[in-house]
């Protein structure tokens, strides 16, 4: 239980209150961020930086001369690039004649040379897939090498027959098999 309060002095209602005793002086304020303690002297201000060197501007004018015998830039269109590639291989009439000759049906058979080659490669595919790819690729490389040496119409026809006929060796399932190992 708390102790009882005992009054030490009673001040009547009409009397003035006595003066309060003087409070002790407050301590000095804490140092601020820019205050320097009395035992340190401030550092002298840093010397101003030297002025930057004067900038000199030199103008050089260059002329680029392009010789007339340099090749023209590549054309933008895909069809123009394809046409330029075809005409760089051989004359357009040779390429057209070779492609038409490769897919035109032979008399008394009803089949073209390219479809006959595609059938041969599909039969080789039934034996072994690698054998069909190897046979088709080897014949295409030999025909291409023959055309590279002679640039004749018959050699270009052989490249067209081997190229179009190689479709018989291709199956769209082969990339899936090669990547995943899953067989049919």
Q: Is residue 104 a part of any domain in this protein? A: yes
What does the alpha-carbon distance between residue 183 and residue 46 come to, in Å, rounded to a whole number? 81
Report if residue 69 sits inside a domain.
Answer: no
Assess if residue 47 is contained within a domain. Answer: no
Q: List the domain range (segments joined by +) for residue 96.
A: 90-180
Alpha helix positions (H), the chain:
78-89, 92-103, 113-127, 129-150, 153-165, 174-180
146 domain residue, yes or no? yes
Q: Is residue 57 part of a domain?
A: no
Check if the beta carbon of residue 183 is closer than 8 Å to that of residue 124: no
Residue 154 lies in a domain: yes
Place 184 in a pLDDT band, splitting at 50, 70 and 90: low
Q: Please report where in the chains the tokens 């002086």 appear, as a residue.
A: 25
Its pTM stands at 0.55
Q: Residue 70: pLDDT band by 50, 70, 90 thresholds?
A: low
Centroid of chain to Cα 83: 29
Q: 3-state DSSP: the chain helix, strand, coil percent, rounded to 5?
A: 45, 0, 55
pLDDT in tens, 88-127: 989 999 999 999 999 999 888 899 999 999 999 999 989 9
Question: How many domains in the chain?
Answer: 1
**pLDDT confidence band for 1 (50 / 70 / 90):** low
């Amino acid at each position: 239980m708390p102790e009882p309060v005992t009054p030490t002095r009673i001040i009547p209602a009409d009397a003035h209150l006595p003066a309060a005793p003087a409070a002790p002086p407050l301590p000095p304020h804490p140092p601020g961020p820019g205050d320097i303690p009395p035992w340190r002297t401030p550092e002298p201000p840093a010397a101003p930086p030297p002025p930057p060197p004067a900038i000199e501007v030199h103008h050089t004018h260059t002329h680029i001369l392009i010789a007339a015998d340099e090749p023209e830039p590549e054309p933008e269109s895909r069809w123009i690039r394809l046409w330029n590639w075809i005409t760089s291989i051989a004359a357009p009439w040779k390429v057209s004649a070779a492609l038409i000759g490769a897919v035109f049906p032979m008399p008394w058979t009803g089949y073209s040379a390219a479809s006959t080659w595609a059938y041969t490669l599909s039969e080789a595919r039934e034996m072994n897939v690698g054998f069909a790819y190897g046979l088709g690729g080897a014949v295409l490389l030999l025909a291409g090498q023959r055309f590279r040496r002679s640039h004749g119409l018959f050699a270009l026809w052989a490249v067209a027959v081997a190229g179009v006929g190689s479709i018989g060796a291709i199956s769209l399932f082969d990339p899936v098999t090669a990547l995943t190992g899953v067989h049919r």
